[in-house]
Structure 1
């Protein structure tokens, strides 16, 4: 049964990622931790691995539609590497409860900002065009 639930959440997470451009972790981490009962740290680490093929395919498909700013994406990816190294060290040093609260807090903050922007009718600033390569 756990495998069936995992497959279902993988499909849902991939679809949400494709539609909304969010990392699968928004679906994968809660599904693994809450529904399948994995410890928070293990759910986060497993989600990181699961996101790799999702990100590759999503990027490839979005690039075909001209929506990817390759230079910015690569710059963010390269510069995020030191941050993720530090983050993994911190994640392994803090309590399970701290990880759960941190993850939930981040999701609440992002949700509140998106809701605030939508209710006010604010639009994000115009983005430069995507790469033509």
Structure 2
């Protein structure tokens, strides 16, 4: 890779990292369609390459969120443990699926997620609280489902966990994003390892993306704390629709 290509990948990683910090998702959700559309990578290779950026971004964003809003270690532990196991099993399945089928499944996943988040904008809003609406062991179910989706699609599971934590468990958006990062950290790591072992990672492209993401993700976290919660939710919904369109037109 020449110096110009390296610099462009760092810049792209910086943009994706900012968005990952803003929405608490590590940047992978938009990196996957971007790598597929802009660079012609097949679905699994795009997912694996995006994970090179997502793993360090998630770890840094988790630390930044914890500095500003303490994450309950009980909640984080049960989410992380179940996410890890199911992400590993799902990633073993994902590396064996036909790339075109995987792309179509990913588009369907994004559209369903966007529809759910759009519907939530018109639902009655429950009062957010630092206490969970349901007993905390139920977080293990959420961790398993989110981890499986993360292992299958390489997105860390936070995109599922964040809206469920706010709507079902009654947390604030910021608390949900912090817990989602705690869930995503081990799941993304084991998924990256699985994709790497099956040659579904372009390390030459992924490493400069990771550098850019690490340089910028803190900006996104700062922006997340500065924006009103309803604006943050609206932006997240629009973001999901954009990702689905980008990948569908490929």
TM-score between both structures, scaled by the size of structure 2: 0.46
Deviations 1:29-58 (A, max 9, x none): 111111111111011112222211101110
**Does residue 1:59 correspond to 2:62, yes or no?**
yes
Change in Cα spacing, 1:78 to 1:28, as seen in structure 2 (3 Å) is same
Match of 1:38 in 2: 41
Match of 2:170 in 1: 126
**Does residue 1:72 correspond to 2:70, yes or no?**
no
Q: Quick check: 1:2–1:36 contact (8 Å CA) kept in 2? A: no
d(CA) in 1 for partners of 2:109, 2:5 = 27
- Name stretches of at least 5 consecutive residues in structure 1 with no aligned partner: none
Structure with higher RCO (Cα < 8 A, 6+ apart): 2
SS at match of 1:53: helix
Shift of 1:121: 5.0
d(CA) in 1 for partners of 2:121, 2:8 = 32
Shift of 1:5: 4.2
**Does residue 1:95 correspond to 2:98, yes or no?**
yes
d(CA) in 1 for partners of 2:100, 2:60 = 33
Q: Quick check: 1:40–1:100 contact (8 Å CA) kept in 2? A: yes
Match of 1:19 in 2: 22
SS at match of 2:25: coil
d(CA) in 1 for partners of 2:8, 2:28 = 16
Shift of 1:18: 1.2
d(CA) in 2 for partners of 1:75, 1:37 = 38
Root-mean-square deviation over aligned CA pairs: 2.2
Shift of 1:67: 4.9
Match of 2:51 in 1: 48
Shift of 1:2: 4.6
d(CA) in 1 for partners of 2:9, 2:53 = 11
TM-score between both structures, scaled by the size of structure 1: 0.82
Aligned length: 129
Q: Quick check: 2:44–2:99 contact (8 Å CA) kept in 1? A: yes
Change in Cα spacing, 1:52 to 1:105, as seen in structure 2 (3 Å) is same
- Name stretches of at least 5 consecutive residues in structure 2 with no aligned partner: 127-166, 176-250
Deviations 1:57-96 (A, max 9, x none): 1011111111533332232222122222222221122111
